[in-house]
A and B are shown apart, each in its own frame.
Chain A
Amino acid sequence: MVKLILKRLLDLAIVLLGVSVLVFLMIRLIPGDAAQVMLGASGDAGEEQVRQLREKLGLNDALVVQYGRWMGAMAQGDFGVSIWTGKPVIEDIWQRIGVTAELTFLSLLLAVLLSIPAGALMAYFRGSISDVVMRVVTITGVTMPSFWLGALLIFGWAAWFPGWQTLGSIPSLTEDPWAHLQRMFLPTLTCALPVIASLARIMRSAMIDALGQDYIRTARSKGLGEWTVTFKHALRNSLIPYVTALGIMAGYLFSGAIVVEQVYAIPGLGRLMLGAIADRNYPLIQTSILVVTCAFVVINAIIDLLYRVIDKRAGVAA
């Protein structure tokens, strides 16, 4: 067990190192002079200005030195400053990431709440008709452009529920939780719907797989009903592949949230990053990508480890 945990931690360290190197190289991969490109957004930049920015970003030193300095600064909480305002980028990111994280979390929650029973029911009623329904629903879910779904939902909701506030400013969760959740409901639904289908499908295959195992035969031979066998014994053992898939889906949901934010005019990380691309504010883009990706990698690793520690059998199987 200890060996397994150490191996996982090593994997984690290597992936984090790789992510940081790639994100670091971002500015250095810009074709031409990065400082020139960054200042280009504001029109004509003087030679002196370009030289100063290059100096400030430390682009003149050897790559290894630059990387070391960058990592060292981050270890002390310095994630760089906006090239336009001089404000630390991490402040902007903190301010905006909350609502994106909330949207990702709410849609993950909704997806889990709906996909587990849906997948389990589909496994219980497995057979030709339910399989066809599942296939159609899954494929529609996977191929549905979320921004289109969002636009349609806004359109439809306005016709059916004119009282709902689907756009505009977001009421604070602490001051008016009901209005807040009402405002977040459609975005959450839009993000979650395409993922529910995939997750339900994974749950269903995992359940059918579990239902074929020996202990299920034992449970059945004890005289337990099919319902109990499916929902008590098989369900619990299907959660391992499901949780693994959940990590990947969380990444999808986050990507979806960035797009869906635009549909529902939510001032989250997506809007901040799109603005940063237009302004060529590279430190902001770099730090956003780094922070979010590392958060995902670490959270996934923790869930994975916890699961293996709790369920020793899964640990051995891996």
Chain B
Amino acid sequence: MKIQRWMQGVGSDFVRNPILMLALTLVLLQVLASVFANVISPYDPVEQAVEARMAPPSSEFLLGTDKLGRDVLSRILHGYRSSLGIAFSAVLVALLLGGSLGIWAGYKGGWVDRLVMRFADVLFAFPIILLAIGVIAILGTNTTSTVVAIAVVYAPIFARLMRAPTLVLRSADYVHAARSFGAGDLRIIVHHIMPNLMSVILVQASLSLSTAILLEASLSFLGIGAQPPAPSLGRMLSEGREYMFMAPWASLFSGLAILLASLGFNLLGDGLRDRLDPRLRGID
């Protein structure tokens, strides 16, 4: 019931707020594109049209072809699937692991809190790219290690974010009341603390997805992300630079695709924050 009302509130706000509408449209289109990549792609992303290498955008190849005569649009659609898939999985892992550690730390307090937060501090101390490089060096260059690398970067963010409000909520009157009725820790966390964290989670997840997409693209641009034949926007961009002066569209459009993906989630998170967190509205 509570959730339903909350959804309606957000729903009506989407209609009223054009930026939020734009963000949601961008995000939905890209999610749909990545889910149905093999249905809507005009060509096979690895099929090479030898006679049409580096063909400029035309009605036959909407975004042109690359050095090997592969259709750029089809490759971008499949690239979306891989990039969004990796970013989603990584943020989900970070949220589940980091978030639960943060809630646990805030709820328990004491040495548990100190230990978890110290660990988060240590992870925060590493420049992001070095943390990711370290994880990839351990696990090798493949899709799974990209997911783990990005998750390790974001887990401490979620831990910190979940801890602070939990710390306040655990001494709220209604939590004391629930406890006096005999509710256990798990029940209190799931039923009384988590619902209050939903908006924070939603906003941060969306903003994190935005930067996780960029990090994934950076790693595959550097050649240490998902390896061929898995399609990847970052690697397409990197490869396209070799013939940037002859056929700029390959690099241009794959970069634009990364920008739009990141932008969509960023606008969504930003808009949701305005809508859901009244304390921040108008200040920043």
Binding site for B on A (CB under 8 A): 11, 14-15, 18-19, 22-23, 26, 29-31, 135, 139-140, 142-148, 151-152, 154-155, 158, 201, 205, 251-252, 254-255, 258-259, 262-263, 270, 273-274, 276-277, 280, 282, 285, 288-289, 292-293, 296-297
Contacts and interface: CB of A to CB of B under 8 A. Distances in A.
A50 B260 CA distance: 48
A251 B127 contact: yes
19 contacts: A14-B121, A19-B122, A139-B263, A139-B267, A143-B259, A143-B266, A145-B218, A145-B255, A147-B221, A147-B238, A148-B237, A254-B127, A254-B129, A255-B128, A263-B241, A277-B133, A277-B136, A280-B137, A282-B137
A296 B119 CA distance: 17
Given A273-B133, A277-B137, A289 B125 contact: no
Contacts of A158: 245
Instruction: Return the 3 tightest CB-CB contacts between A and B, nearest first.
Output: A148-B255, A18-B122, A255-B129
Contacts, number: 132
Contacts of A292: 127, 130
B134 A289 contact: yes
Interface in B3-31: none
Interface stretch (B57-65, B172-180, B209-217): B209-217
A211 B111 CA distance: 40
Given A142-B266, A277-B141, A297 B244 contact: no
Nearest to A248: B124
Contact of B255 (A151, A255, A289): A151
B166 to A, nearest CB: 22
B248 interface: yes
Contacts of B129: 254-255, 258-259
- A-side interface mostly: helix
A285 B128 contact: no
Interface in B94-148: 118-119, 121-123, 125-130, 133-134, 136-139, 141
A289 to B, nearest CB: 5
Contact of A293 (B130, B224, B241): B130
A135 B141 CA distance: 36
Contact of B134 (A26, A252, A296): A26
Contacts of B118: 14-15, 18
B223 interface: yes
- B-side interface mostly: helix
A296 B222 contact: no
Given A143-B210, A254-B129, A274-B223, A26 B248 contact: no
Contacts of A282: 137
B144 to A, nearest CB: 11
Contact of A15 (B122, B133, B234, B255): B122
A205 B283 CA distance: 8
Contact of B133 (A145, A289, A296): A289
Contacts of B139: 31
A124 B252 CA distance: 37
Contacts of A254: 127, 129
B51 interface: no
A289 B126 contact: yes
A262 B222 contact: yes
B125 A147 contact: no
A263 B237 CA distance: 11
Given A151-B255, A152-B252, A277-B141, 7 more contacts: A14-B118, A147-B217, A151-B244, A254-B129, A262-B221, A270-B222, A282-B137
